[in-house]
Structures are given as structure tokens and as C-alpha cells.
Structure 1
């Protein structure tokens, strides 16, 4: 099967986010994202610096190793991908001119474009593809997400200077979509071979921006790559970035970040606090854009391998005692929607039949806890069984406070208390948090994952996807569920694959393997002098076409 253009849906209707003239553009176009921006902005103007304030700082800048979405977002302008994806799942050439899926479905052969070079002068070729995928798969990289996107990677064969065959021990599955993500982006093979550990501090890609400096707890600075001529055609602009420089400032405090925007210290910010969004809407010099992120919603993964959540009755009780409609609306004021499925509604394969499938039911929760033997109470009102309180441990990682998740967690904690759960939320340093996730030393692990493909369900609930190789943080190994997960991998058409995805979503909700909480959204506020910030299929902002008119 030759794929040169759209490997999935053939439609070129694109979801477009453009900040400029204050428009969120949802357009059908043959050009790429942002092509139909407001005409009164005029032609793009080259030059200038954009300063963009973020609510979190990455702990490692190598997306092959780091699973953080902030790492992927910052690196999108630094690293190019083999494939570009449009918002409908169509796949298009980027660093790969074309690709062929092997007759047995277990390999992909890429024909690569010519004339591409990395920022250190190393040419991009088939050997570079092999070096990158081998780096991701290597145990020494300790990849916590990118390796799961590679799936059952068996190796890469260099067939010629510009031909590489990527092999798998099983079906290709969602690899082609994954190859469009920053996590599988291409880095310099020279940098990988000489000092792979330094990639966490200084990524070396081939993108429109070159990494320049990282000042901890302050900023990351990128500069234009003037020789860039290989952007994906679907963007409608393949040449160098218009901006001379792109600066990311780290301002985790919501009020400080918004104040920096309104005072002109920065040009744009991410994650506007919902309670303050009216400040942006009422300011004629600013514009607000919101886009739901695809992939895994923000879910509470309940560890089914140890008490108390090894008892399904306790898991269902925890799920049903939470008034998530009230909690989510009270925290996000409509900016983020309540989730019903492990998947975000914008994810291909999302099952709308999960909506309303389980409801707030404190009477049922209390009855199930009684049936499970948690009938006693301690002086603090916590349920007790055989002298043991109904206590659940919820470690908090570095990003546990972003997007008002600290306030959200407090609301969940208070609601669960009403049924007698003692939810203990404990901040954990990055190293300890990672160790806890790998070992299973937790009862709740809460997170979201960005991916524009229902295949993310496989790495979230497959029996072979336990950490660190996958994101099965519920640690479930149910044979029936695993058979369904595997059937999605071996499905030969979208309809069969989506049926498997539907069955997975319903299973994990019905058995309270997870508690879906809210749908993350990417919220950008920017000055009206900023134009051409567009989103990719993962809802991350891209700055290749961004320009400023002042």
C-alpha cells in the first residue's frame, strides 16, 4: 500500500486556530493550518521576537525521553517529523516524501526528502532515522512515552541514503500517526551518538527554530533557522520562520502570567485561568482562543493491584461519590468540559455513548462500601475495615498544580470524604514521583496524554503497557480487556478498530478502572498584534508562520 498524502481519512478539511483579528477559524481548506486568517492583518512581516509565557517548565528537553507535553510543545519548532498530520487524521509528507506499508503489515519503508540538514550541519538521511528510533527504543534512554508510540519496534534497516525500512514485531498499528508527533521527531544523529545525555539540556533538530539557551526557572530562547526550506506543504509555508526569535518564559502563577500579558511584558500566554478569562475578553487589545486537546482526558487511574481499589465495589463507590458536574464547572466555569470517557471527544475513536453512562450516586457509593465491609468509622469520619482506614494515596508530580488541578484535586478529596474515603494528596519530587509510577506505589495516578488517535487506549490499558514502557497506570491485566486491546491492533479497517476502541472505553468506565474528570483544553491569550499562531493535530501551538505587526 503506497501512502503519499492521506493514509487515513482523505478529506483535507482542517481545524485551524489562528490568533490574529481575534478569530478561531474552523475552515475547509486545501492549504494548511492558518491559511484563511483574517485578511485585514495584511501580508506576514518578517522579523521581531515573540515572548510566550507558559505555566510550567520542562524537566528535560529531549522528547524521546521526557513524556511531558510542555517538552513536546516547545520542541515542535525545533524538531521536524517524518509525517505531518491534519486535524482529520490525514497524513502528509514532511521529512518523508512517501511511505509504503509492507505486505505483511509489519514494516514501513520511507522515501526521504533531499536537502535537509540538522542545526549542527549533519545531513538528514536514512541513517538518521535509524539513529533516532534506536535511541528511543534503547533502555538507556529511559523513554516513558515515545517508546510506547514506537510500539513493538524491531529495528530500522538502511536501504539506501534516502530509504529506511522500520520493522515491528507485529502490525504497524498507529505508528504512522505517531510518526507525526514531536515525541518521535528527528534529532541530529551526531548529537545522539556523541552525548545523548545532553539532549535533555539542548535538543538538536532540523526545524524552523534553533535551540539557543535555557535559563532555569526563567526562559528558553529559540532563534530562526535561516536555511529552513522543508516545512510541510500542508502548512502553506515551507520556508524560514517569520520571527527572528521565540522566547518561552516560565510563569507558573496564573495571576503573574496574566498580569505579564496585560502589562505588555509578554505577547501571549497559555492556560488563562478560567476565573479571569473575562479580563481577556473585555480587553480590545487581546484575543482569546480555546481548543480541546485530543488524546486521554484528565483521568484518575485507580491502581487495581492493591487495596482498596483491588475491590471493584470500592472503585465504583469512589467513581459514583464524586459530583464531577459540580466540581468541574465550579473550577473551570465552562472553559473545560466534564469528561465521560478516557478519551477526549476530539480524539478519533471517541465513543459518545459513554456520555451519561455513569452518574453521581452517593447512595449507591455508600451501599457498595457497606457491602465491601467498610462499615466502621474512625473519629475523623473515615470508613474503617478490620481496623484499617479507607485511605487512598494520591502522589502529586511537578505538573499536578497546573490548569487549576490543585483546586480540582481538593474538590475531589472533599467529595470523596463524604462517603468515608481519606484521600491523601502528597507532593512528590520528580525522581520520587517517577519511581512511584513505575513501582505502583500509589492508589491514584492522575494525568492526561495528548494524542490525536484512539490508539492511545492500547498504551493506556494493554497488559503489556505497564510502566515504564507504557501508561497503564491502573495496572490492569484483565484477559478480556487485553484481548480487546489486541484486537484493535490487528484490526484491518477503521470500523473494526473503532468497535474495539468503543469496547475498551466502556469496560474501563463500567469497571471503574479510571475516573474521567475533565477534557483538557489549550487556551491561548495574545495581543492583537500577534498573527499566525496555528494548532497542530495535537492542539499544540505552532509558530512557524507566526508574525508580529508592531
Structure 2
């Protein structure tokens, strides 16, 4: 059947106005198969760079940059640029043996020294997310020979190969990093991957072109050889309804972030639906324990008890979005604690009793609690259109309404992307509650989110501003435990500590969802963050 019809201009919601630009001339399925064709994909967000430390960047860089390892469907590390790896008896020295004959798309060769350069580049600030994962563990990188890399650690980290499978750890050409500008490496990073970045039209799309010389597919790829499609037209379409409409009218071949309200309709229409619950920290609320009303643990617990979070998520998410009570890690994360997830259920009576005990016994004419003349006001900013989508914003509105019933005056502050990326509302005096997530392949994310935040060693990822040697000790021992059962037990104790002190409460699991045309096969979700993989994608009759 004909592929693709010219795209009409589609109006987007709110202030986001763009159109889906016209495709190439329509062609038959046979012609599409002959040259691979152009696959049109509608994504919900445009990142500042192709390579970097945000999940939206990792989704793109996964198409362009290969990593040392990949993850299989069971969460186990498998070969990618590294054919194999071993670790010393003390857990401090990892040796990776690299594939031979791999070249970057600028013609330079992949060697152990190039990968060592990349690691040092990350640790020097070239990728803050890669750095924060390795901080406290990484000592040095060494090229033993041309195809043997050693990573030396200060402390054991048994899950290092799994961690390196995340898109943040994609390997770039050393020559490109050394000779090109930061802007060039931001917009068109040079990797050894299945695609190259041919063009970036800001606010509209990125065009990915097939790397015809691709030789370094991961062990869990669905086929060997270069990508099957010639081009991926990766479009930025912020509005969910617009994405779904374009898919149903065959103007795009696949979409990301499927609106819950469209899920059943698309399923009944024969579209392929993929849902991946990202491991790591779920969408949660972290309380400011450094200043404001939530310095009192009783007030934090009162807020938790005031909410019927599960009913909110079920109502708004229509059974598509999974409820998550655990504020530390999602149910997809190894070492998950159900006890932590079940710690707080809706109990308005308990909430009221706790507020009374904390001295918030008076109520003003608007129904809000008052203490020493001060109203129980709390500020909850959130990244609108970045880390919180439209459904998430509706859930937060429900949170504010439910908390009001026991006397909290919650002010929601939608933070636009420009302010969010500039660091707005990240300081202690700028918020009382932080909403957000952090994807991860292991519960090691706990170290990033709960390592102490001090003047000597700042930790901007500690959203609760909470410092606890006891909690740190549990996480550090878990991170270095060679025995998986011991590791998971310690991680669970850490989650339960967080729940018992009401430092963070879960709302829902962050999803990576795809809807795919019945005329396309081979798109799958990689298993570290759930991003789409287009190396195996192809058109079918």
C-alpha cells in the first residue's frame, strides 16, 4: 500500500504550535523494502543535545552511539562494543575485551584508549549523569592494549556492566571530541552506531541516516548488519492527541508517550503497543527536610496519609499508568521493597491527628491549617512538558485537592522547559516538595538520590536535602555487595528507611510507551530505559 501520504499541517495544543512537515513522495511497499524507506516517528520532547545526561538525549544517542554493553530482557548485561569482561577477585579492576574492526563514522578506529578517553571526558564534566553514576567508585581507565580496557575502581561495584548499558554511556569518536566544537558534538555526535545525525531542524525534527558500514550491533539485536530502514525522521510533537491522530491517519509510523485515553482505541485499531516500566526512581514527591513545614516528620506523614494516590492514578491513568507507592524505586527495579510501597494508605483521620500533634490545630476560614499565625502553605513546582506530562500534571492537581481536605494549602507551579533546564526551583528556599523521577537499571540510584548534600560535597540530586549516615551506609554496602541476595536485602532496608521517615512517597511508575503502525515491524524497546530501537525496524506489506 502507498507510503507515505503528504502530511497536512496539524495544530498543536496550548502554546506549542508546529506542523508535521511533508514526507517524501508516496511509494509502494516493495519500493520501501528495496531501499529501506523513511520511517517517520513522533516523539514528545526535544532535548538540547543528542548526547548528554537526560533520558531524552539517551533515547537519541542510543541510535547513534554504541555502548560497551547492552541489556537483555532479563536485565543482564550482554556484549556490545565489549565482547566480554571479567572482574578481579577484590571487585576493583574490570577488564573489557573489545570487538575488533569497529570504526566511527568519521573513519577513526575504536580502541581501548579511545574508550578510556571517553570515560575521562565524562568524569571531567562532559556528561554529568555518567559522572554521578561513577563518582565515588571510579579511579582510572587504562588501555592495556589496543583492544583491552581496564576500569579501576576505589570500591567494588558489581553491577558496573549493567550500569554502563544506559544510553548516557555511549562512546564517541575521540577525534571528534578533540577537534570539533561543543556545539557540533552536541548536535551531531560521532559514534559507531546504526545511524548518523544528518540534519537537525530545531523545533521540528532530527533526521537520522543509516550507517551503511555498521558492524557493531549488540548481542541482543534482532538482526546482524546495518539498519533496515534508510532514514528515521524523528519529529518533535509535544501534544499527545496530535501524535495519536497522526498515527491513526498514517501520517507517522510510530509514536512515543501514548496518551492513556488513546490506548484502547489504538489497540483495537491493530496498532502495536509497547509499554516499559522504567526501573529506577518512579515519579514521586520528595519533601524538603531542610526548611519549611516538612522538617517535621509528622507533617510529612500527614501529607502522605491525606492522599488516595492509587485512586488518583487509576482514575487519570485509566489502568495504563501503574500506581507506585514506593518513593525510592519503581516496581521494575531489582531489590524492590513492597513493604516500603505499602507504608502509607489514605487515612484522613491519621493525617488530622498528626497535624494536631505537630501544632497545626487551628483552621482558618478557607479550611487551611494555621500555626502561630502562619498558614500551612506548601509549594510544589514541577517541570511541565519535560519530566511531567499532561497526565502527570492532572495527577498533581489531584494531589493538591486531596491534601487540601486535611488543611494543606498546596501551590502548584508549572515550570516551563527553559526555566527547568536553567535550574529554577531547585534550591532549599524555592520549594517544599520536589516532583520527579530518575531512570536506572539497578537500585544503585539510591546512592545518587540520597548521598549527603554538604558544602564540601554538594549533591543536587538529593531532592529532600536529607543527610543520614545510616541511610548512606545501607546504600553503600548494597552497592558493593557481591551476593545479589545480600545486595537486594540492603537496598530494601534503605527503601524502608526512606518510607518510615516519609522522606519521599511514590505516585506512579514512569512509563516508556510506543504505538506502532501495523505496516512496521522490528521496533523494540531497549531494556535499560525503554527507548525505541530502530536498527531492526522495517516496513511490511
Q: TM-score, normalised by structure 2?
A: 0.88
Residues 459, 465 of structure 1: 8 Å contact kept: no
CA distance in 2, matches of 1:276, 1:227: 39
Select 1:281's aligned residue among 267, 270, 279.
267
Q: For residues 255 and 508 of structure 1, what CA distance do their matches in structure 2 show?
A: 37
- Over residues 340-374 of structure 1, what are the superposed CA-to-partner deviations in whole Å (9 max), with x where a residue is unaligned? 22322222111233343321111111111111112
- What is the alpha-carbon distance in structure 2 between the residues aligned to residue 393 and residue 405 of structure 1? 17
Q: Deviations over 1:442-482 (max 9, x none)?
A: 22221122222122222222226999756321222112111
Distance 1:321 1:454, change over 3 A: same
Give the secondary-structure state (helix, strand or coil) at the position aligned to 1:122.
Answer: coil
Q: CA deviation at 1:436?
A: 4.2
- State the 1:382 CA deviation: 2.2
| Deviation by residue 1:394-449 (Cα, 9 ceiling, x = unmatched) | 22225144151111111111111112212222233546435346533322221122
Helix, strand or coil at the partner of 1:261 = helix
1:167 corresponds to which of 152, 156, 159: 152
For 1:236-385, what aligned pairs fall within 5 Å after superposition? 236-284=222-270, 286-341=271-326, 342-385=328-371
Aligned residue for 1:24? none
**2:238 match: secondary structure:** coil
Q: Which residue of 2 aligns with 1:518?
A: 508
Q: Distance in 2 between matches of 1:340 and 1:46?
A: 48
Q: Secondary structure at the match of 1:58?
A: coil
Displacement of 1:274: 1.0
Partner of residue 226, structure 1: 212
Give matches, 1:407-426, under 5 Å: 407-426=394-413
Matched positions, count: 503
Find the partner of 2:498 among 508, 519, 524. 508
Match of 2:423 in 1: 435
Contact 2:452 2:458 in 1 (8 A): no
Shift of 1:320: 1.0
Which whole-Å CA distance do the structure 2 matches of 1:437 and 1:468 have between them?
17
Contact residue 300 and residue 514 of structure 1 kept, 8 A:
yes
Matches within 5 A, 1:444-455: 444-455=433-444
Change in CA separation of 1:361 and 1:465 when aligned onto 2, cut-off 3 Å: farther
Give the 5 Å matches for 1:111-150: 111-139=97-125, 141=126, 143-150=127-134
**Superposition CA RMSD, Å:** 2.3
* Residue of structure 2 aligned with 1:110, choices 66, 75, 96: 96
1:405 aligns with 2:392: yes
Question: Following TM superposition, by how much is the alpha carbon of 1:491 offset from its aligned partner in structure 2, in angstroms?
Answer: 1.4
Contact 1:126 1:164 in 2 (8 A): yes
Give deviations 1:221-271, integer Å, cap 9, x for gaps: 101000001112232423100010011111111211111111121111112
Q: Distance in 1 between matches of 2:306 and 2:34?
A: 55
1:99–1:293 CA distance, 2 compared to 1 (3 A): same
Rounded Cα–Cα distance in structure 2 between residues aligned with 1:216 and 1:243: 23
Contact preservation (8 Å) 1:75, 1:182: yes
Secondary structure of 1:234's counterpart equals coil
Decide which moves more: 465-474 or 74-83.
465-474
SS in structure 1 of the partner of residue 295 of structure 2:
coil
Is the Cα contact below 8 Å between 1:45 and 1:548 reproduced in 2? no
- Matches of 2:246 and 2:458 in 1, distance apart? 38
Matched residue SS, 1:123: coil
Stretch moving more, 464-473 or 113-122 = 464-473
Alpha-carbon separation, structure 2, partners of 1:454 and 1:469: 18
Aligned with residue 139 of structure 2, among 145, 154, 177: 154
Structure 2 unaligned segments of length 5 or more: list them: 1-32
> Using the alignment, how far apart are the partners of 2:445 and 2:274 within structure 1?
26
Contact 2:205 2:234 in 1 (8 A): yes
Work out whether 1:480 is the aligned partner of 2:480.
Answer: no
Residue 548 in structure 1 maps to residue 536 in structure 2: no
Taking the aligned partners of 1:366 and 1:399, their CA distance within structure 2 comes to 34
Relative distance call for 1:387 and 1:144 in structure 2 (3 A) is farther
SS in 2 for 1:154: strand
SS at match of 1:445: strand
Distance 1:386 1:427, change over 3 A: same
Query: Aligned partners of 2:279, 2:353: CA distance in 1, in Å?
Result: 36
Maintained 8 Å contact 2:112/2:145: yes
Contact 2:377 2:409 in 1 (8 A): yes
- Corresponding residue of 1:26: none
The two structures have a TM-score, normalised by structure 1, of 0.86
Q: Does 1:190 align with 2:175?
A: yes
For residue 431 of structure 2, give the secondary structure of its aligned residue in structure 1. Answer: coil
Indicate if the aligned counterparts of 1:49 and 1:247 stay in contact, CA closer than 8 A.
yes
Distance 2:170 2:370 in 1: 50
Task: Pick closer, same or farther for the CA change 1:485–1:61 going to 2, 3 Å.
Answer: same
Q: Which residue of 1 aligns with 2:10?
A: none
Number of the residue aligned with 2:25: none
